[in-house]
């Protein structure tokens, strides 16, 4: 399910920080191996690194190909949902002087990792997608 925050048009630049929960990432260790060029199947594994509720370091692995498939699907979903909305918004009669130029959307792929019977941690990659109607957009920090 994709959730997008509502934005107002009172500034030229907006940052939407919302989490799009786009299904379960199957977390399984993949074999380490050579990487592939874009478009080819990628071997190896992706490490998801974060901190658990106690602040300790937490690492889990996911197959690089699985991660890429989920990431691609997420990108496509966000783009196909957001761009038409932005164009509709742009077509509305101007009520403010400032024009919406750039939108940054935080996305997340979430998965649950069992560490024994007690601990479950959720690891959400921090990725932001930047949409713009400018040839030279200003990016967020």
Partner 1 sequence: MTKFQLSLLFGFVLITLSCAKPPEQSPNALPTAWYKTETTQSTAGAPVQPTGPDVTPMPNAVADESVRTQFMVHTSALEDLASAPTRVAKPAAQHQADWTPWHMDGMIASFAVDVGGIFGVLTADGTATVKGTWQQSAPAGPKAVKPLKKNSLRLSAEMSLSDLKRALEPSIRTAIATHAMGNESELRRNLSARGSDFLQLVKVLDGVPARPGWHVDSLQLQLTFDADGQLTPVVGIGGQLNVFLDWQKSSVAGTKGAIRTGELFRNVVAFAQSLGALIPEALLDAKAIRSSGLALDQFQVGVAVIEGAQIGVVQNTNTIQGKIIFKRDKGAKDTDTASSVSQLAARETAMSDVSKPAWQAQAIPFVMRVGAPQAFAAASSGTGVGQIESSNAQLTLVQVPVDAFRAGLSRAVQMGSYFAQRAEEADTRRWQVTQIETEFDASVGGAFKLATVTSQGQFVLDFDRIGK
Contact residues toward partner 1 (CB under 8 A) are: 13, 15, 32-40, 42, 44-51, 55-57, 59, 64, 67-68, 71-72, 75-76, 78-80, 83-84, 86-88, 90-91, 99, 102, 104, 108, 122-141
Beta bridge partners, 57, equal 51
Least distance (Å) between residue 25 CB and partner 1 = 11
Rg (CA), the chain: 18
CB of 117 to partner 1, least distance (A): 21
Closest CA to 13 of 92, 84, 95, 99: 99
Minimum Å gap between C-beta 100 and partner 1 is 9
- Specify the residue, 31 or 118, whose C-beta has the smaller distance to partner 1: 31
Nearer to partner 1, 55 or 116 (CB): 55
Our CA angle for 57, 1, 23, nearest 5°, is 45
Compare residues 116 and 136 and give the one whose CB is closer to partner 1. 136
Kind and range of the H or E element at 77?
Answer: helix 64-91
Give the DSSP H or E segment for 90. Answer: helix 64-91
**82, 103 contact by CB (below 8 A):** yes
Nearer to partner 1, 9 or 132 (CB): 132
Report the nearest approach of partner 1 to the CB of residue 118 (Å). Answer: 19
Residue with token string 């602040």: 55
């Amino acid at each position: 399910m994709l959730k997008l925050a509502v934005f107002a048009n009172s500034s030229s630049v907006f940052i939407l920080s919302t989490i799009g929960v786009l299904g379960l990432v199957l977390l399984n260790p993949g074999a380490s191996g050579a990487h592939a060029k874009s478009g080819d199947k990628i071997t190896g594994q992706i490490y998801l690194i974060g901190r658990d509720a106690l602040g300790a370091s937490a690492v889990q692995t996911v197959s690089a190909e699985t991660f890429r498939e989920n990431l691609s699907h997420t990108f496509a979903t966000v783009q196909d949902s957001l761009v038409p909305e932005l164009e509709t918004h742009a077509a509305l009669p101007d009520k403010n002087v400032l024009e919406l130029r750039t939108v940054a959307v935080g996305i997340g792929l979430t998965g649950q990792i069992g560490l024994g019977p007690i601990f479950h941690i959720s690891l959400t990659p921090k990725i932001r997608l930047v949409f713009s109607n400018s040839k030279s957009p200003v990016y967020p920090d």
